[in-house]
Amino acid sequence: MSAHVTAAHGAAHGAGAHEDSHGDGAHSYAIHLQHSRLGLWLFFISEIFLFGALLAARFYLWRDDHGAIVRPELDQVVGLIVTGVLLLSSWSMNMAETGMEYDDRRTFSIGMISTFILGSIFLVGVMIFEWGLIPFPGYTAHLKPWDGAFGAIVFGMTGIHALHVLSGLIFIAIVWRLGRLGHYSGEQHWGVEACAIYWHYVDLVWIFFYPAIYLIGHAVHH
Amino acid sequence: MTLMSLGLVRGLVGQVVGTLIGFALIIIGRLLMGYDDPWYAEGAWALGSVFGTLGFLVGVGAMDDWFQWMVGRFPPIHHGPPKGKPAWTRYFGVDYNHKIIGIQYGVTSLVALMIGGGCAVVFRTELARSGLQFLSPELYNTLIGIHGWAALASILLGVGAMANYLVPLMVGADDMAFPRLNAFAYWINVPAIMLLLGSLVMNWDSGWTFYPPLSTRGSVGYQLAFYSIYMIGLSSILGSINIIVTMLLMRPKGMSLFRMPIFCWAMLATSLLQMTATQTIGQAVLMLSLERALGMGYFDPVSGLATATPNGDPILFQHIFWFYSHPAVYIFVLPGLGIISEILPVFARKPLFGYRWIAMSSLAIALVGFLVWGHHMFTSGYSPYLRIPFMLSTLLVAVPTGVKFFSWLGTLWGGKLTFPTPMLFALGAISVFLIGGLSGPVLATVTTDLYLHDTYFVVGHFHATIFGGFVFPFFAALYFWYPKITGRMYNETLGKIHFWLMTPAFWMMSLGQMTVGTMGMRRRIADYEQALGGMINDPVTVVRDGANVLISHGLGKVEVGHIIITIAGFTIAFSVLLMIYNLFNSLDVGELAGNNPWRSRSPEWQIPSPIPEHSYPTPITVVGEPYDYGLAGSTYVSMTPAPGGDD
Ligand SMILES: [Cu+2]
């Protein structure tokens, strides 16, 4: 859970960790960048099995009496908007990383802040409209966690994904601040790179989750 | 020096504080939502377990450097014992040296082994005679569940011990790729073991497999067990990533993948499994926890809305659970089989037979291991069409496993064999693993499994596999590397007594379990019918003072089996205590071992024992094949840097 945060940070941290170690700076940075990159990608491969298990559970459980794939009736407008917002945030994150590559701190900052805002909109949107966790005038959420396999899977998938979004937001906030303090440069910015790849990864997972939750199968009224 | 300056003590205090914070969050949350009774045990223990673990990690200091990083400071990696404290304290706090972490893993593994073994001794005593003597059925079930998970934790910790201590040394690296992550991955196991002990007090009665719907009901001890397993799994995942990066990117000049010591190949295959499959067990216990705390309908078929919407399915749990828990068996045995392949050439003074085949067979076992989980579910009621594919894939595992057996025989054939304790345990491992291996196909075959599935035959098969594939090789490794780790020799006589007590006892136990299984003894049951399998002597009654008096209770055939198994179990437990005594006692009184008592070619044996803080003063170079024992003039590693190259 929050261990996901620490894990990502742990892998992300390799570079910073070794700025101090023996050997000349640039050479040892290059070596540890290589280590950290591989570590982070292995972590992603590992997480594929987490998200894969959730997808498997979804396609296993969401069946009608004849074995046909079904889905709950969810608010399609909400699903479309949060998905769009998240895709947009991948673009702004890319802008931030490219900015740092060219030592353009202004673009970096704008990109990071935009990504943080878009990510927060996604998270709050899910919390208000999907979960009904925060009351919103004139709107009632569709499902409760205890509403059979529909509620369990919807809350399970969006919940695990939301935890990744949340850890990504914390990651963004820290890296943005470190960037403002002047910790990265065009040549050495593994923290920014790790943050960006992590964010894209979380987006990519949603690309699989969104159709699985909202689109595939025929809708069953609950 | 005060008690609170020990990281372990701070961690435990942190765990208590964290648990209380978890409780408080539930109480406050429920008060805010307007519940009358703010205390909700399921939610409180679930959240308390998570926050307690976090509290431990903060308290012990495993995340200190990461907190520093968050505010823009980059503290250097600390080397050597903590300043101003005795050297031994570094074992009780966060230390980044992989050799220290390896020893921490190893000692914790032995502690978990004693917890798991202790539970077994208790319920074995209960089973020795028919009738319930001193355990309640609930406590019996809790004990077998804890026995299972404590033993599995012990094995995973033992794998971590060998991987952490040996892999960086074998590939000539100064440390693991991510030392902080390494320490974090170790320390998360300690609160996990505390949670497991807590669950013992609070009871859970499903056995180690947590099958719903039993596990979605009943006492709250489940929540502690779930998060204990979740955290142990997290440790596996983080540790395996570290190992893979270390092995792939930190090898010295000249060490191609096929010139790594063979244990590294075993750990590569193991780590690939640990890194991926472990996610699904984490997910499985998380879903169970949520189902219990929030009523989410994953597995319980009656939990949902009425009418046409789908409900939970207990079979789904079995799929997710076994998707990890079958590969888990290979996570346990692959490192052990690697140890056997590592030790045999040293004591046969001959090259390892078929190095590349052994290396590839580890990867093949790992790969096929993903495709066989359904063999645990032949009797569960899933689609009968799935049975045959799962049977065939399971039987396929015999091929790469057979490769290993032939390689071991080929290595031993014509060797100049000597038999110190590590070699004895390696050979004992082969004999025990053979029992486990030969009883496997009987269970993989659907027709026979339908009869044997829920019997002690499975218990016998499983324990033979795990003891042959992990426990015996792990003990071999402990004896083999003990002189390298401590600089002193263990007591050879005690080591041999350990071996000659444990090995025949284990054969008896394992074959005994299979025998009572075929006689109809079911597993996971606190009691059994005395007459099961027939009686050896019938109860005798005589007439005395005009009344019938029973003078002999008779002895059931299954009962005899259980008595033998119990005696064998006690013998194994005693022999393991003997080893632990030997290892601790020899720290002071063992003879000095020297750098390379076994005349091994592996790089870690070319440096002083015990190994200094920085293992290799200069980068090593590999100039030959690792296992060319007995070949005149061949060398594996050169301890001086290669001339010429400046990389
Ligand atoms: Cu299996």
Q: What is the pLDDT of residues B55-72, one digit of tens each?
A: 999 999 999 999 998 888
Cβ atoms B314, B381 nearer than 8 A: no
- Report, as an integer, the average pLDDT of A127-146: 80
Contact B295 A149 (CB under 8 A): no
Contact B298 A53 (CB under 8 A): no
| Number of H-type helices and E-type strands within chain B | 19, 6
Look up residue A76 and give its amino acid.
Q
Token pair for residue A159? 């919940």
To the nearest whole Å, the CA of B304 is away from the closest chain A CA by 3
User: B234 touching A, CB under 8 A?
Assistant: yes
* Alpha-carbon span B183 to B627, nearest angstrom: 32
Which distant-in-sequence residues (6+ apart) come within 8 Å of B33 by Cβ?
none
Res B324: pLDDT = 94
* Alpha-carbon span B540 to B86, nearest angstrom: 68
Q: How many CA atoms lie within 13 A of B416 on its CB side?
A: 5
SS3 B572: helix
DSSP letters along B200-243, please?
HHH---S-TT--TTGGGSS-THHHHHHHHHHHHHHHHHHHHHHH
Largest CA distance in chain A: 66
Contact A61 B310 (CB under 8 A): yes
User: B305 touching A, CB under 8 A?
Assistant: yes
User: A122 touching B, CB under 8 A?
Assistant: no
Contact A9 B66 (CB under 8 A): yes
**Lookup result for tokens 């579910």:** B377
Per residue in B113-132, pLDDT (tens digit) is 999 999 999 999 999 998 88
DSSP letters along A137-176, please?
TTB--S--TTSHHHHHHHHHHHHHHHHHHHHHHHHHHHHH
Cβ atoms B535, B555 nearer than 8 A: yes
To the nearest whole Å, the CA of A145 is away from the closest chain B CA by 6
Best A2, A4, A28, A46 member to test B by mutation, with max B CBs in 10 Å, is A46
Res B637: pLDDT = 87
User: A163 touching B, CB under 8 A?
Assistant: no
User: A180 touching B, CB under 8 A?
Assistant: no
Cβ atoms B150, B109 nearer than 8 A: no
Residues in chain B with CB shorter than 8 Å from the CB of A177 are: 72
- Report, as an integer, the average pLDDT of B539-547: 74
Which run of H or of E encompasses B152? helix B137-170
Residues in chain A with CB shorter than 8 Å from the CB of B309 are: 70, 72, 147-150, 220, 222
User: A134 touching B, CB under 8 A?
Assistant: no
User: A181 touching B, CB under 8 A?
Assistant: yes
* Alpha-carbon span B177 to B250, nearest angstrom: 8
Res B303: pLDDT = 55
Per residue in B228-268, pLDDT (tens digit) is 999 999 999 999 999 999 999 999 999 999 999 999 999 99
Contact A10 B313 (CB under 8 A): no
CA nearest neighbour of A43 among B410, B113, B245, B114 = B245
Token pair for residue B514? 């299979």
pTM, 2 dp: 0.92
Mean pLDDT of chain B: 92
Res A107: pLDDT = 94
Domain boundaries, chain B: 1-77+84-94, 95-638
Counting residues of chain B whose pLDDT is more than 90, the rounded percentage is 76
User: A173 touching B, CB under 8 A?
Assistant: no
Best B51, B181, B182 member to test A by mutation, with max A CBs in 10 Å, is B181
Residues in chain B with CB shorter than 8 Å from the CB of A38 are: 244-245, 248-249
CA nearest neighbour of B292 among B232, B216, B362 = B216
Counting residues of chain A whose pLDDT is more than 70, the rounded percentage is 88
Residues in chain B with CB shorter than 8 Å from the CB of A53 are: 279-280, 283-284, 320, 323
**Other CB atoms within 10 A of residue A197 CB:** 18
CA nearest neighbour of B272 among B241, B235, B231 = B241
Q: Where are the beta strands (DSSP E) in B505-628?
A: 535-537, 540-544, 547-552, 555-556, 621-622
- Is the predicted pLDDT of residue A171 greater than 60, yes or no? yes
* Alpha-carbon span A91 to B334, nearest angstrom: 44
SS3 B579: helix
Q: Where are the beta strands (DSSP E) in B507-554?
A: 535-537, 540-544, 547-552
Q: What domains, with CATH codes, occur in chain A?
A: 39-220 (1.20.120.80)
Which distant-in-sequence residues (6+ apart) come within 8 Å of B498 by Cβ?
B421, B475, B575, B576, B578, B579, B582
Tell me, in angstroms, the distance from the centre of ligand 1 to residue B373's CA: 6
Per residue in B366-383, pLDDT (tens digit) is 999 999 999 999 999 888
What does chain B come to in residues? 647
* Alpha-carbon span B274 to B271, nearest angstrom: 5
Q: How many CA atoms lie within 13 A of A72 on its CB side?
A: 27
* pLDDT band per the 50, 70, 90 thresholds, residue A1: very low
- Is the predicted pLDDT of residue A58 greater than 90, yes or no? yes
Handedness of CA B153, B155, B159, B161 (dihedral sign): positive
Assigned CATH class of B95-638: mainly alpha
* Alpha-carbon span A64 to B309, nearest angstrom: 7
- Is the predicted pLDDT of residue B21 greater than 90, yes or no? yes
State the ipTM, two decimals. 0.91
Tell me, in angstroms, the distance from the centre of ligand 1 to residue B443's CA: 10
